[in-house]
Amino acid sequence: VAMAATRRVMRAVRVFEFGGPEVLKLQSDVLVPVPKENQVLIKVHACGVNPVETYIRSGTYARKPALPYTPGSDVAGVIESVGEHVTAFKKGDRVFTLETVSGGYAEYAVAAANRVFPLPDKLDFRQGAAIGVPYFTAYRALFQKGCAKAGESVLVHGASGGVGLAACQIARACGLKVLGTAGTEEGMNMILKNGTHQAFNHRDPNYTERIKACTGPGGVDIIIEMLSNVNLDADLQLLSCAGRVMVVGCRGRIEINPRDTMSKESSIIGVSLFLATEEERRECATAILDGIEAGWLKPVVGLEYPLEKVAKAHEDIICSSGARGKMVLLL
């Protein structure tokens, strides 16, 4: 009984029903979670906002968490305490996560120790919150599922958001020829600074012709696709022989002609970080931590919101007219 009296409370976003951004409720009396064995408690300084979190919140996504829940998987902060059997971390360590147990849109979050990684001093907490889902997804799409090799060409379709910029940086560092698209002048400049050899504006009606002129008759080997319900049909026309489209993002249905895959023996491959094995996650983590160490992995932070403005963040990530880096909540 004495224990219960001393449990601390925190501010956290709670979702009690699926629906629009307005179902995100900021509460100030949520109990601070306690780490169990092989878990850590993190004092959250920043938390990334991912498009998938808006799909889950709306109730339209394949995975539905039990209600009520706190969204958020990519946090960066400082270890507050550790559960039993945790030896890799101690109180005071700077860390970032790939996922959380209790939800990241909160002042404190519990995460499994094997989903937590050291945050090097050269990156701030905002950047730390921009690593998890975007960089692990980009690495998985390029190498684990896309089998990218140095010397191949990659088109990052929607390159100015979190996953897009991650894909550009990783692909460039690994010796690929990198083409990218963005929807604004600012976005195009940003992707050119972050690894693309050439940038195209996907709002230009003739942009696919420009890409074809750039790649020549050979086409592009890999496409990292953020909006497949809009672009998949066009993507199939841009591919090389044995080329592959990696479906990273989708918001609905699209009609394609499967014959387009036959003429080039091309592939359409879905990417889900959720299905990665422990071994695959470790491979991603090693590559990412090496990239930070080497200096080429530099997360670009875009719009920043306080926790009170979480509903606005969810609205903006879906409706804004062109992404510019990774959206984060600041605590």
Domain spans in the chain, listed from the N-terminal domain onward:
9-130+299-330, 134-274
pLDDT band at 5 (very low <50, low <70, confident <90, very high): low
pLDDT given at position 324: 86
pLDDT given at position 322: 73
Q: Looking at the whole model, is its pTM more than 0.85?
A: yes
Beta strand extents in the chain (DSSP E only):
9-15, 24-31, 39-48, 75-82, 94-97, 108-112, 116-118, 153-157, 177-182, 198-201, 220-225, 239-247, 267-270, 301-306, 326-330
pLDDT band at 323 (very low <50, low <70, confident <90, very high): confident
The span from the CA of 179 to the CA of 219, in Å, is: 12
Architecture of domain 134-274: 3-Layer(aba) Sandwich (3.40)
Q: Which residue has the higher pLDDT, 268 or 3?
A: 268
pLDDT given at position 320: 77
- Centre a 10 Å sphere on the Cβ of residue 81 and count the other Cβ atoms it contains: 18
pLDDT given at position 4: 55
Percent of the chain with pLDDT over 70: 98
Q: Quick one: average pLDDT of 32-61?
A: 96
The span from the CA of 230 to the CA of 217, in Å, is: 23
CATH 3.40.30.10 applies to domain 9-130+299-330:
no
pLDDT given at position 6: 74
Q: Quick one: average pLDDT of 99-125?
A: 97
pLDDT given at position 3: 57
